[in-house]
Structure 1
């Protein structure tokens, strides 16, 4: 049997042509990409788990049209960001250095999937004015996830070596199979958007998966373990306005999770989306951008 043609490096590799980087106080390198309007209102985008800055490409067109500069960093151990034992509690410090590096004194934040708690943790930063959660994980006391996510969370706590092997195997298959393989972890099929055909969305999802594991699985395993533990802040202490976008057909994060998040956050609203996990991001992405924009903007 003939071997499959090689995948072009630009289809998934976290190369320097897409990402920029800064040096954090402890010497680590943080990589980030910017999409949309370079001169627009800044919005910090926190990718999912496993995931990377690449998934923010799905919102590049609506960000540009809305006048948003979408800043998507890779968290430690992801893409071109060097690894370190950074927790959800520590992440706002990294985010603050990125905002300072870009000379940003006011911004919104969006958290997708496992990036939700990381975005919400940034509520304590004076720069963050509003937060949008899109298909966000919840803390264990209210969060309900699919069986696969529960299994992964258990492995991250009790057998991280086995989870590492599983992620390496998934990456091996993702490199060699059609992009629909990667899509299968977040949706039944790739959706279309106003700017992207379904096959383009699928390629972005595969690139996101592969970039997430470019440095190996250690960063992802740590985040999976963090997501299965109690959050380091109380939902009731989040003072900024939050909009929760929750897919009603989401098999990764149960609809009850979004409802519970919106109920417990002091200043929150719930937007129900008739879609699955990935479809919630593509369908409600523009609304999420609008929700975190400064209200004085037209």
Structure 2
């Protein structure tokens, strides 16, 4: 079993020994990290947007204890992954190459926040047998986001240059301020887990933000635009079981979103979590891991 190295007090950025890379068929570089139990049940983790593989560190301890190999890639243009205009429909192909590279023929998938749509898009892969959403975004028709996210989505479509300046300004402040500054974008309450103190959670969240923006904001803007448009698949087409975890006090993704997703997905369960957006990840992460551990699809 491998434990992730501690995040240093200085800003953590991609390119350190934590990240491994895979060369995709078109020559692009895909960066990823495996947390938890290297020999455990494989689970693909889809980070949020803005976000990176680093946020999966929050589940490293429960993954190790549960015997899960948590595979956390950075999508194109994020962290150490080469940029490319990959769409929501094309992302599963990258994920399939990563799973094949790791000799994985059966896995679960978890999507946090804006990673939810990317996890659901992987339903078409024969390797993905179960999916869990942790505060996962829904399609535009559901009206899933709060005012800030709606504003960001609008800017991504109509004024990407302005959104780019906004993201650069946020990163500038994140580098110079206390880690709690970054937490304010994904949490309304003081974050803490059974395994990590609040200050360590904050440092991970800041590292996640800095890694997401390390190559500039273009990939984040592209993803925001993708998620604000109709998805290339219907929820009714998702044939694998989906466990939906939704925070009751989520200020980033409306609680009604989780309920709507669970209602429209053909085979879904819903668990309301007494927490905010980030708290849904930290409080229900272990349950999500349990929900998607390797089982035989019938």
Q: In which range does the TM-score fall when normalised by the shorter chain?
A: over 0.9
Matches within 5 A, 1:158-237: 158-237=158-237
Unmatched runs of 5 consecutive residues or more in structure 2: 1-6
2: CA distance between counterparts of 1:10 and 1:86?
Answer: 32
Unmatched runs of 5 consecutive residues or more in structure 1: 1-6
How many residues are paired up?
A: 290
Relative to structure 1, the CA distance from residue 197 to residue 8 in structure 2 (aligned partners, 3 Å threshold; closer, same or farther) is: closer
2: CA distance between counterparts of 1:135 and 1:290?
Answer: 17
Match of 2:22 in 1: 22
CA RMSD of aligned residues (A): 1.2
Match of 2:74 in 1: 74
The reply to whether residue 285 of structure 1 matches residue 285 of structure 2 is yes
Match of 1:261 in 2: 261
Summarize deviations over 1:238-259 as a string: whole Å, max 9, x none. Answer: 1100000000100100010000
1: CA distance between counterparts of 2:49 and 2:190?
Answer: 18
Determine if contact 1:145/1:252 at 8 Å carries over to the other structure.
yes
Q: Secondary structure at the match of 2:132?
A: strand
Determine if contact 1:45/1:56 at 8 Å carries over to the other structure.
yes
Determine if contact 1:108/1:292 at 8 Å carries over to the other structure.
yes
Summarize deviations over 1:150-175 as a string: whole Å, max 9, x none. Answer: 11000000000110010000000000
Match of 1:12 in 2: 12
Match of 1:117 in 2: 117
Bigger drift between 91-100 and 135-144 goes to: 135-144
1: CA distance between counterparts of 2:144 and 2:27?
Answer: 37
Q: Structure 2 length as normaliser, TM-score?
A: 0.95
Q: Secondary structure at the match of 2:275?
A: coil
The reply to whether residue 48 of structure 1 matches residue 48 of structure 2 is yes
2: CA distance between counterparts of 1:53 and 1:10?
Answer: 18
Matches within 5 A, 1:138-153: 138-153=138-153
Summarize deviations over 1:8-31 as a string: whole Å, max 9, x none. Answer: 686421123110000011110000
Q: Structure 1 length as normaliser, TM-score?
A: 0.95
Match of 2:103 in 1: 103
2: CA distance between counterparts of 1:58 and 1:115?
Answer: 15
Summarize deviations over 1:202-261 as a string: whole Å, max 9, x none. Answer: 000000000000000010000000010001001001110000000010010001000000
Q: Secondary structure at the match of 1:88?
A: coil
Q: Secondary structure at the match of 2:34?
A: strand
1: CA distance between counterparts of 2:286 and 2:45?
Answer: 13
Q: Secondary structure at the match of 1:72?
A: strand
